[in-house]
Amino acid sequence: MKIDTSPYVQFAKETLGLEFKNIEVLITAFTHRSYVNEHKKTVQEHNERLEFLGDAVLELAVTRYLYSNFEEPEGILTNWRSALVRTESIGAAAVRLDFEKMLRLSRGEKRGSDRARQQILANSFEAVIGAIYLDQGYDTAEKFITDHIVSTLPTILESGSWRDSKSYLQEVAQEKDGQTPIYKVLSEDGPDHDKIFTLGVFIGNQLKGSGSGSSKQAAQQKAAEEALKYYDEMK
pLDDT tens per residue across span 92-139: 999 999 999 999 999 888 887 777 888 899 999 999 999 999 999 999
55 given a catalytic annotation: yes
| CATH class as words, domain 6-159 | mainly alpha
CA distance 62 to 144: 11
pLDDT tens per residue across span 141-182: 999 999 999 999 999 888 776 777 787 788 888 888 899 999
| Torsion angle defined by CA atoms of residues 87, 166, 194 and 207, in that order, rounded to the nearest 10 degrees | -140
In the set 51, 109, 126, 135, the catalytic residue is: 126
In the set 55, 109, 135, 142, the catalytic residue is: 55
164 given a catalytic annotation: no
**Structural domain boundaries of the chain?**
6-159, 165-234
The answer regarding whether domain 165-234 maps to CATH 3.10.450.50 reads no
pTM above the 0.85 mark? no
pLDDT tens per residue across span 182-228: 999 999 988 877 789 999 999 988 999 999 988 898 899 889 988 98
